[in-house]
């Protein structure tokens, strides 16, 4: 990858001191694409980092339609120098970066024994080292100002690995450990830069139309499935409320985390018996995959995958996260009313 990232388009002018700037990696499709829309809807100037030419171009058009400044950069996040150069270009074009979202994705779905070392390294380079490179670039900008938020887009699979996704699950586990360590270092330094995580359930993205597979058929997300806009709303909320260390999106994410903590052996057995049929469809695998080269270089895949008919548009847990104060107040009022009622009964 070229050390100097290619710029596909900008909407530039004088920097608006009142407008926040966000950088989103993996911006050309799926969760990253939906997050760009959501940030643009909230008035952020948006910088888009991704590999695919057509996907970036279409995402840029969508952000422009919201009337915000846009910068698109063709970058492979596995290239640390390219990510650093992109960060510098963003600051010189859009202004100081307030939020950096790491959400780039690449994977292979296959039994571990059928994954070549270079394939495993590639998944790790994008899904783990890409987050490290993005975080480093963001901190180099944010720490001198003592201001900024970094959002790590994680997964329920960062708490519990599932069969046939060892490389991806390993990378997501690594991101959690890395983020915990760095967060403590920022505390030690007295820094006001914030790190937060958003861990997602299965999302209806185009990844299953282009992920490399050796499962004998086309893959699919493990139900229940949510639309990428659910993830995007959680990511923007986390960026604007970063005091919480992490957010879990979807009841299935909570169930996965708690199941791993309370009954990991049960999950071993259940996943061992069900994971194959839960992830494979009776359709031929894609002719092209995006592990090493983008497939949206000539075609735009959009934010949604092939599972609109079964995907939820709302996560109750996510809604409760955003209304946490109201829920707390209602809960306190309910407890108080219950205590008063109980006291009244005791007096009779």
Positions annotated as catalytic residues are 168
List beta partners, residue 22: 46, 99
> Cα 198 to chain center, whole Å?
7
Sign of CA dihedral 180, 109, 34, 226: negative
Q: Which two tokens stand for residue 65?
A: 């339609």
Sign of CA dihedral 154, 230, 58, 91: negative
* 257 touches 160 (CB < 8 A): yes
> How does DSSP assign 74-103, residue by residue?
E--TT-HHHHHHHHHHHHHHT-S--EEEE-
3-class state of residue 194 by DSSP: strand
- Taking the C-alpha atoms of residue 43 and residue 21, their distance in angstroms, rounded to an integer, is 9
- Taking the C-alpha atoms of residue 28 and residue 48, their distance in angstroms, rounded to an integer, is 8
List beta partners, residue 155: 200
Q: Which two tokens stand for residue 318?
A: 């996510």
3-class state of residue 216 by DSSP: coil
| Kind and range of the H or E run holding 337 | helix 324-347
Q: Which two tokens stand for residue 335?
A: 């407890």
């Amino acid at each position: 990858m070229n050390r100097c990232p290619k710029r596909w388009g900008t909407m530039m002018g004088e920097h608006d001191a009142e407008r926040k700037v966000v950088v989103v990696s993996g911006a050309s499709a799926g969760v990253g694409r939906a997050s760009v829309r959501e940030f643009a809807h909230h008035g952020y100037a948006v910088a888009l980092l991704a590999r695919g030419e057509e996907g970036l171009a279409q995402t840029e058009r969508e952000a422009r339609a919201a009337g915000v400044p846009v910068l698109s950069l063709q970058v492979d996040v596995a290239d640390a120098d390219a990510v650093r150069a992109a960060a510098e270009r963003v600051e010189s074009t859009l202004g100081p970066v307030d939020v950096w979202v790491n959400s780039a994705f690449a994977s292979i779905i296959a039994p571990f024994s059928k994954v070549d070392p270079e394939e495993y390294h590639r998944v790790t380079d994008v899904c783990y080292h890409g987050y490290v490179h993005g975080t480093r670039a963001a901190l180099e900008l944010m720490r001198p100002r003592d201001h900024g938020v970094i959002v790590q887009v994680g997964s329920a699979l960062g708490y519990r690995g599932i069969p046939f996704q060892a490389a991806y699950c390993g990378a997501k586990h690594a991101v959690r450990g890395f983020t915990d360590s760095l967060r403590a270092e920022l505390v030690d330094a007295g820094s006001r830069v914030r790190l937060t995580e958003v861990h997602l359930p299965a999302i209806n993205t185009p990844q299953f139309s282009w992920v490399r597979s050796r499962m004998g058929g086309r893959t699919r997300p493990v139900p229940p499935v949510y639309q990428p806009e659910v993830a995007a709303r959680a990511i923007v909320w986390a960026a604007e409320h970063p005091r919480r260390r992490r957010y879990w999106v979807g009841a299935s994410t909570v169930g996965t985390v708690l199941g791993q903590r309370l009954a990991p052996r049960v999950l071993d057995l259940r996943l061992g018996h069900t994971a194959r049929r839960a992830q494979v469809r009776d359709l031929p695998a894609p002719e092209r995959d995006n592990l090493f080269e983008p497939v949206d270089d000539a075609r735009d895949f959009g934010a949604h995958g092939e599972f609109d008919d079964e995907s939820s548009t709302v996560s109750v847990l996510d809604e409760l996260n955003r209304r946490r104060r109201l829920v707390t107040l209602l809960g306190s009022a309910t407890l108080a009313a219950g205590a008063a009622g109980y006291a009244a009964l005791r007096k009779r």
